[in-house]
């Protein structure tokens, strides 16, 4: 049996009203221009989170070949996706912002400013002494642009893809059972309580918080780990107000950040570990679909757990992924040594699957 291994953040899910419009914007702002898969079918296995009904949807996984996780851009078909009924504030329960990485924070700030992207405030300094800044997309989603130090390929862009997330929790110590105990973010870069000047310009940012930034001490290996690179999770606990659940009275796939997805190996061992630690799978594609779930051009085994506040964490054990679609070339991951990284030249072949827009 293959041991459990997390190879990196595969993607962050973003619910939108118009997939093509959103994708064009993410391509322009963050260089998310490689199409890994695109699937226009029915989500049949997410019934606990889709009101008990299968739902038609159009989804695409886009990545930036320079490195980082992707965006799974997700659009309901047949129903209008709902926004939250209240104004989201930092510390609300769930994924408040996606972290995306920059090669040089000042260059990214200037390039996005020149492109007319909505920047919330200016360059600010985090508790670890590093500069970062927040931007808001046209669809009301917030991104935290931070400097990254792991890169896969030079594609002449200012930055890369998903580097992590800011997640609101009610109790950081309880949440660590998932984020450190299961996901391996075991290194604390800072753990501070108070008011934070770098949050003042984002909604709710003038409050009092406990704030912890986590990274992983073990280097991710295997599969696409070199493309995904390092990542960080920031947990924020509001101390002077009662936070709202971001997806209160809404469905998975509605507007906003819907899940954080990890590429993994050893799904059966992971399932056992999650159950033993009190976070059993709430969705498991193997139950209905056997060993491999078809995702259009890709295939794999996926599952979900919830953190203590109901935030959805997805796991995907990839079985098949397209590399050169025009030539019908894909990789069968089940026939490869799970301990070895895919050759760089092979992964870079995905550059030929660019989204033209």
Tell me how far apart the alpha carbons of residues 160 and 62 are, in angstroms, rounded to a whole number: 12
Q: Which ranges of 209-312 would DSSP assign to H, the alpha helix?
A: 225-228, 267-276, 285-289
Domain CATH code at residue 102:
3.10.180.10
Local confidence band at 288 (pLDDT 50, 70, 90 cut-offs): low
Local confidence band at 323 (pLDDT 50, 70, 90 cut-offs): low
Local confidence band at 336 (pLDDT 50, 70, 90 cut-offs): confident
* CA nearest neighbour of 355 among 69, 153, 64: 64
* CA nearest neighbour of 76 among 117, 122, 41: 41
Local confidence band at 335 (pLDDT 50, 70, 90 cut-offs): confident
Count the domains in the chain.
Answer: 1
Residues 207-218 have a mean pLDDT of: 97
- What's the predicted TM-score (pTM) here? 0.94
Question: Which range of residues forms the domain containing residue 254?
Answer: 5-353
Each residue's pLDDT tens digit, 256-265: 999 999 999 9
Whether residue 73 has pLDDT greater than 60? yes
3-class SS of residue 157: coil
């Amino acid at each position: 049996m293959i041991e459990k291994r997390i190879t990196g953040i595969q993607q962050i899910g973003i619910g939108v009203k118009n997939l093509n419009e959103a994708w064009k914007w993410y391509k322009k702002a963050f260089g998310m221009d490689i199409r890994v898969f695109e699937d226009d079918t029915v989500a049949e296995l997410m019934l606990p989170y889709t009101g008990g009904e299968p739902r038609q949807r159009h989804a695409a996984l886009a990545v930036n070949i320079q490195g980082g996780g992707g965006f799974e851009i997700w659009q309901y078909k047949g129903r209008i996706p709902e926004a939250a009924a209240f104004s989201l504030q930092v510390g609300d329960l769930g994924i408040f912002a996606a972290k995306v990485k920059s090669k040089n924070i000042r260059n990214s700030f200037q390039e996005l400013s020149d492109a007319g992207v909505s920047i919330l405030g200016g360059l600010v300094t985090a508790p670890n002494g590093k500069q970062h800044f927040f931007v808001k997309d046209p669809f009301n989603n917030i991104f935290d642009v931070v400097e990254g130090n792991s890169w896969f390929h030079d594609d002449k862009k200012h930055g890369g893809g998903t580097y992590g997330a800011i997640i609101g929790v009610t109790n950081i110590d309880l949440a660590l059972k998932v984020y450190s105990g299961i996901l391996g973010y075991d290194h604390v870069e800072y753990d501070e309580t108070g008011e934070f000047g770098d949050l003042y310009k984002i909604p709710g940012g003038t409050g009092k918080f406990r704030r912890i930034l986590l990274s992983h001490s073990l280097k991710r290996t295997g599969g696409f780990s070199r493309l995904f690179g390092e990542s960080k999770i920031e947990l924020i606990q509001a101390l002077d107000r009662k936070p709202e659940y971001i997806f209160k009275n809404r469905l998975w796939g509605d507007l906003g950040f819907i899940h954080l997805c990890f590429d993994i190996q050893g799904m059966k061992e992971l399932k056992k570990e999650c159950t033993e630690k009190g976070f059993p799978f709430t969705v498991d594609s193997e139950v209905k679909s056997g060993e491999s779930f078809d995702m259009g051009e890709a295939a794999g085994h996926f599952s979900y757990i919830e953190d203590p506040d109901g935030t959805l964490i997805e796991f995907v054990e990839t079985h098949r992924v397209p590399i050169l679609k025009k030539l019908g070339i894909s990789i069968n991951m089940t026939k490869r040594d799970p301990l070895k990284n895919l050759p760089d030249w092979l992964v870079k072949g995905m550059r030929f699957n660019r989204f033209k827009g």
